[in-house]
Amino acid sequence: MSDRKLNFFAGPSVLPVEVLDEMQSQIKDYQGNGQSMIETSHRGAMFEGMYNKCLSSMRELLGISSDYDVYFLGGGATLQFAMIPMNFLKPGTHADYIKSGTWANKAGKDAEVFGDVKYYFDGSDSKFTTLPDPKTVHASKNSSYLYLCSNETIGGIEWQDFPKREDTPIIADMSSDFLSRPVDVNNFDMIYGGVQKNLGPAGATVIIMKKDMLKRANSPLPNYLNYANHSSKDGLFNTPPVFSIWGVQLVLEWIKKNGGAQGMKERATLKSKMVYDVLDSSDFWKSPVDSRYRSKMNVVFRLPSEDLEKKFLTEAAQNDMLGLKGHRSVGGLRASIYNSCPVEDVKTLTEFMKEFERKNG
């Protein structure tokens, strides 16, 4: 048994303990090769074997066809906020951004540097607690692409269904709910995400892009910032974030063992329901978000006063539950319960919550 604390951080976040054990056991000598994965050339057979396994697991788990590239970049999801408009926001046109919260808004701001942005929806009217009905979402005429964030990590809202791809490409930031459920990749022209929420140790950003998108790209572009270079080199245009990719490869194996994308969806549904059931059980708790779009990854909640919220955090920490503070920009409380977060940990959290209410309600 280990004395690990319960991890509800929003990111970097919890990893399966089996994956950490595996990394520990292989860190000095990877599978008897006499070298470490993180000390060897990314052009060598040892890295390539692991890398190819990682990419094929990703394709298998999400049903990604050969029409799409899959690879990893550095720079976090944040670099994609700039690379996307730099590559795809056509001069003389505009792009549609769904203004759903902190992360989509940051992406929109970066796009404004390169061209016109039309905000399709403005969540600020509701303090970013709701989303548009996906059936009503249509890209505007001549739009270069339609951009959305599938799960707003800070606001705690998540698209349950997505707008349907029409003539305009759809690009989605899935950083915080990546592989937490099956997704029809063919509905998107690009899906990306920082891996540190649901997929592995920080450092890599996964890119899934329809190869056809490259035909739409602007040029010239600086080399690293040009997706075409990463596509033509299968993601090995320069040194990739090796340690992070290794972690992702192991997490993908873990996801396969645990029922794949559908298994992750069932886990996420079960775990998030456990917390929302407590929130719905009395007026002591408040869930600020539209119940139709409640996130299964980041459960945001409030207590009757900020003093009680402080007390909650202090007592949670005394009980070895960490990371429950809401993002500094919105305050309140947040439990991030990503794929690797054990069901038992969520059970411990909900029991603590009920006890806290008994004492303070």
Ligand X SMILES: *Cc1c(COP(=O)(O)O)cnc(C)c1O
What residues make contact with ligand X under the rule CB under 6 A? 11, 76-78, 103, 149, 153, 173, 175-176, 194, 197
Is residue 325 among the annotated active site residues?
no
Which candidate in 69, 96, 173, 189 is catalytic?
173
**Smallest distance, ligand X to C-beta of residue 25, A:** 28
**Amino acid (one-letter) located at 210:** K
Distance CA 38, CA 231 (A): 23
Helical (H) or strand (E) element with 71 = strand 68-73
Is residue 285 among the annotated active site residues?
no
Q: H helices within 199-330, ranges in order?
A: 227-232, 242-257, 260-281, 306-318
**Smallest distance, ligand X to C-beta of residue 197, A:** 6
**Smallest distance, ligand X to C-beta of residue 176, A:** 4
Residue nearest to ligand X (CB): 76
**Smallest distance, ligand X to C-beta of residue 66, A:** 27
The dihedral through the CA atoms of 151, 152, 158, 164 has a sign that is negative
Which candidate in 99, 197, 271, 325 is catalytic?
197
> For the CA atoms of 33, 39, 44, 50, what is the dihedral angle to 10 degrees?
70
Q: Which of 167, 123, 115 is nearest to 145 (CA)?
A: 167
**Smallest distance, ligand X to C-beta of residue 205, A:** 6
152, 158 contact by CB (below 8 A) = yes
The smaller minimum CB distance to ligand X, of residues 169 and 193, is found at: 193
Is residue 254 among the annotated active site residues?
no
The smaller minimum CB distance to ligand X, of residues 178 and 352, is found at: 178
Q: Which of 77, 53, 67 is nearest to 251 (CA)?
A: 53
Which candidate in 103, 159, 246, 285 is catalytic?
103
Residue keyed to tokens 């001549």: 142
Distance CA 71, CA 161 (A): 25
**Smallest distance, ligand X to C-beta of residue 326, A:** 14
Angle (CA) 201-104-292 rounded to 5° is: 95
The smaller minimum CB distance to ligand X, of residues 163 and 203, is found at: 203
The smaller minimum CB distance to ligand X, of residues 30 and 128, is found at: 128
Distance CA 66, CA 47 (A): 22
The smaller minimum CB distance to ligand X, of residues 144 and 175, is found at: 175
The smaller minimum CB distance to ligand X, of residues 154 and 321, is found at: 154
Catalytic residues: 103, 173, 197
